[in-house]
Amino acid sequence: MGATMTNLIQLAVGMLDLGELKNLAEESPFLLLIVSAFMLLIYSFFFNLLVSQFCGVYASLAQDSEGHARLSRGEVILDTLKAIQRSRWRAFVASLQLDERTDFDEGDIGLPGGVKVFEPAGANPKTQDQIIRFGGHTDPSLPWPDKEHDADSDNQDANLGQGRFREPWGSTSRGKAPTVTSR
């Protein structure tokens, strides 16, 4: 059995003379089929091993290239900071007001260290507020407000966005827009 495995391994790595396979095909075609299946299995294993090595090398190179990009970006930032006057940099940092709290909405205290950026109201529409707000004290021993009372206020809030707007030209007797004639 040892000599057979040695011959198969030599065949797999290309050290065995292929002339012996011709003799094997003449003696037993079934044995040639088994040897061919073995070779197919070995070559697919080596191919998968090669692909996994390529994937590992690619992942490490991608990680290294990301790190090198961050380092070079940091060098550019440091070179730029060296070129700016210290007083101008301090004035810029003071203009950001990072020590003041940034409020998110009316009544919110907010967090320090942020920059407030306004966006158009229609940029991110939402249909319903997911946070249910209750007025009053925050003592956990107090009972929660009634749901029926809050359902009416939620309904009013939902109807605010669905208000009717008047037409800019006013209403006519039949409800049609007036015709415009050119002279």
pLDDT digits (tens, 9 = 90+) for 59-118: 888 888 888 888 999 999 999 988 999 899 899 988 988 888 888 777 777 788 888 888
User: Is this model's pTM higher than 0.85 or not?
Assistant: no
The pLDDT, as a whole number, for residue 164 is: 43
The rounded distance, in Å, linking the Cα atoms of 146 and 97 is 42
The answer to the question of residue 139 being in a domain is: no
Question: Which tens digits make up the pLDDT trace of 101-158?
Answer: 888 777 777 788 888 888 887 777 777 766 776 677 777 788 777 766 545 555 555 5
The answer to the question of residue 20 being in a domain is: yes
The answer to the question of residue 19 being in a domain is: yes
Q: How many domains does the chain have?
A: 1
Three-state DSSP class for 141?
coil
The answer to the question of residue 140 being in a domain is: no
Domain residues for the domain of 45 are: 2-83
The answer to the question of residue 151 being in a domain is: no
The answer to the question of residue 65 being in a domain is: yes
The answer to the question of residue 16 being in a domain is: yes
* Chain position carrying tokens 């009634």: 146
The pLDDT, as a whole number, for residue 180 is: 46
CA distances from 58 to 64, 70, 93, 132, 137 (A): 10, 18, 41, 49, 58
